[in-house]
Amino acid sequence: MTAKIEMNNVVKSFGSKEVLKGINLSIEKGESLVIIGGSGTGKSVTLKCVLGLIKPDSGSIKIDGQEITTLETHEHDILMRQFGMLFQGGALFDSLPVWENVAFGLIHGQKMDKISARTIALKKIKAVGMDESVADLYPAELSGGMQKRISLARAIATTPDVIFFDEPTTGLDPIMADVINNLIRQCVKDLGATAMTITHDMASARKIADKIAMIHDGQIIWSGTVEEMDNTDNLYIEQFIHGRAEGPITNNSDIVA
Amino acid sequence: MTLLLNSCQNIGATLLGFLASIGRVAFFAGQSVGHIFKGPFFVRNLLRQFMDIGYYSLPVVGLTALFTGMVLALQSYTGFSRFNAEGAVAAVVILSITRELAPVLAGLMVAGRVGASIAAEIGTMRVTEQIDALSTLSVNPYKYLIVPRILAGTLMLPILVLIGDLIGVFGGYLVSIHVLDFGVGSYLSQSWDTLETIDVVSGLTKAAVFGFLVSLMGCYHGFNSGRGAQGVGAATTNAVVSSSILILVFNYVITQVFFS
Ligand SMILES: Nc1ncnc2c1ncn2[C@@H]1O[C@H](COP(=O)(O)OP(=O)(O)OP(=O)(O)O)[C@@H](O)[C@H]1O
Ligand SMILES: [Mg+2]
């Protein structure tokens, strides 16, 4: 069986700064992968490479066995229809009201009429734990956490096959975070979506993940199940999940040196 | 010797950089124009840009034209009276307005108003990843953002300039009649007799080109904005400066093409 997403030796530099130094990663269909790792290690860049928003310098990325780094723009647009993405910063369209943000992919991607699209949008707004009354507000009128949830609603509104969540629970209170965790779990379990989530929130990671991968210094240095993570003697994982300032992650970086 | 070599090297590098950026702008323009003819079309965005670029620029362009026409009548009268050629005032006003001043001044005003706001808006969308979000929602950013703005710029500026022509000539007329004591009938007939179709057509052609340039530079710099508030700020400045310079350059080129 071919993996849903497969990254092989993906390398990306910005100027002289090498961010990804050979990422190898594969996700099966219907699997939920959580990526953990320090700030600035290239997690968001990794997602953007798969989405084609950033072109890797070298390496291969395959979706359903099809190489995507060499696709033409319009072929890529078509491929994108099965993808949903929650951006780390929300990336809501500030010129559109909340409901149109959520319904954007339905109206423009799937050519749905506005009335049905609005109905679905309202449902999704409720699903992320918000009141329907926010539908006609503009994103700038919402709090940071509310924007994040609307952005999540937008990412899942088209019920995509593959969903990427970049820090879905950052900036949310613990209760809302759990609502979102359940929602992501539900997308994978009930809808059969393949999910890739970046998070620093270990409680969330444990809840969402079928598999966890840790990225450090531009490479995947460990991957396994939650259970394996708890029993591993990998010092990097240990340090990260216990949140210690001292350990191998910080030792060879410039923080200590 | 090394100093000479170094400065040659610097000049060479600057020149290469300049040529490279012309190439990038041309590529961007080609991409954008290509998307104009292929759907899907975002009509609502286009209408909004018609309003933003056309309708809301009316006051600025109208005032500019009015005072330009007025000062033109005054200046040409005081200048020409030295040669006893006051009779040429009407002709000078209408030709300068239609051929040169309405398109160039409207273009520059719109560059400041619209070029800057396009660059700031699209730049902010780039920086806050809204442009990336468009792609992930299977909407092509060129079609959704760039095409409506370039179309609106290219189509609206000629209309603005036509209105500016009328207002500018009217401004000259006001000053000539009420301040300089010209006769209404003779002033109007002189104006009308001087004017030829090509004067207006060349002015409107300029307007369309300037409108295209302003919106193109706004979109280009916004689309390629650097990161953060600083990036957006630089994009805005670059959009205004580059479109103003391009307006002046193309003004010369188009005049040459039409009148020689
Ligand atoms: N468009 C870009 N241009 C230049 N450098 C970039 C760009 N995008 C990311 N980087 C750099 O790549 C590195 C990794 O960025 P990335 O956003 O992937 O980090 P991250 O792992 O998601 O961190 P965080 O957990 O803080 O979100 C950073 O050092 C960043 O400065
Ligand atoms: Mg990130």
Segments forming the whole domain that contains residue A19? 1-82+194-257
| Residue A89, domain member (yes or no) | no
Is residue A172 in a domain?
A: no
User: Which residue's alpha carbon is nearest to atom 22 within ligand 1?
Assistant: A44
pLDDT for residue A256: 40
Within-domain flag for A71: yes
Which residue out of A44, A169, A215, A249 has the highest number of ligand 1 atoms within 8 Å of its CB and is therefore the one to mutate?
A: A44
Residues B33-69: tens digit of each pLDDT: 999 998 789 999 999 999 999 999 999 999 999 999 9
Query: Which pair of structure tokens corresponds to residue B100?
Result: 């040169």
pLDDT digits (tens, 9 = 90+) for B69-88: 999 999 999 888 888 888 88
Q: Does A80 touch chain B (CB under 8 A)?
A: yes
CB contact under 8 A, A51 and B129: no
Mean pLDDT of chain B: 93
CA distance B113 to B115: 6
Region A210-215: mean pLDDT is 92
B147: which DSSP letter? H
Q: What is the number of alpha carbons within 13 Å of residue A134 lying toward its C-beta?
A: 22
A8 belongs to a structural domain: yes
- A33 has which bridge partners? A196, A211
User: Which residue type sits at A150?
Assistant: I
What average pLDDT does the segment B197-210 reach?
95
Which range among A165-169, A210-214, A242-246, B107-111 shows the weakest confidence by mean pLDDT?
A242-246
Tokens linked to B123: 């730049």
pLDDT band at A252 (very low <50, low <70, confident <90, very high): low
Q: Inter-chain contact B138–A92, Cβ cutoff 8 Å?
A: no
Would you say residue A161 lies in a domain?
Answer: no
Can you give B161-216 as a three-state secondary structure string? Answer: HHHHHHHHHHHHHHHHHHCCCCCHHHHHHHHHHHCCHHHHHHHHHHHHHHHHHHHH
Q: Give A128-156 pLDDT, tens digit per residue.
A: 889 999 999 999 999 988 999 999 999 99
First to last CA, chain B: 46
In the prediction, which pLDDT does A242 show? 84
What is the pTM assigned to this prediction?
A: 0.90
Question: Does residue A112 belong to any structural domain of this protein?
Answer: no
Beta carbon of A20 within 6 Å of any ligand 1 atom: no
How far away is chain B from the Cα of A153, in angstroms, using its nearest Cα? 13
CA B100 to centroid of chain Cα atoms: 12
Q: Which of A47, A63, A85, A156 to mutate to test the interface with B (most CBs of B within 10 A)?
A: A85
Contact: B40, A108; criterion CB under 8 Å: yes
Q: Is A185 inside a domain boundary?
A: no
pLDDT of residue B6 exceeding 90, the answer is: no
Quick check: is A207 in a domain? yes
Other CB atoms closer than 10 Å to residue A145's CB: what's the count?
18
Residue of A nearest to B132 (CA): A53
Q: How many domains does chain A have?
A: 1
Task: Give the domain CATH number at A225.
Answer: 3.40.50.300
Report ipTM for this prediction: 0.89
For residue A164, which amino acid is it? Answer: F
Strands A5-14 and A17-27: antiparallel
A1 pLDDT above the threshold of 70: no
List Cα–Cα distances, B145 to A115, A145, B40, B45, B48, in angstroms: 24, 27, 12, 8, 11
Please provide the average confidence, as pLDDT, over all residues in chain A. 89
Distance CA A127, CA A95 (A): 23
> Tokens 């990260």 belong to which residue?
A240
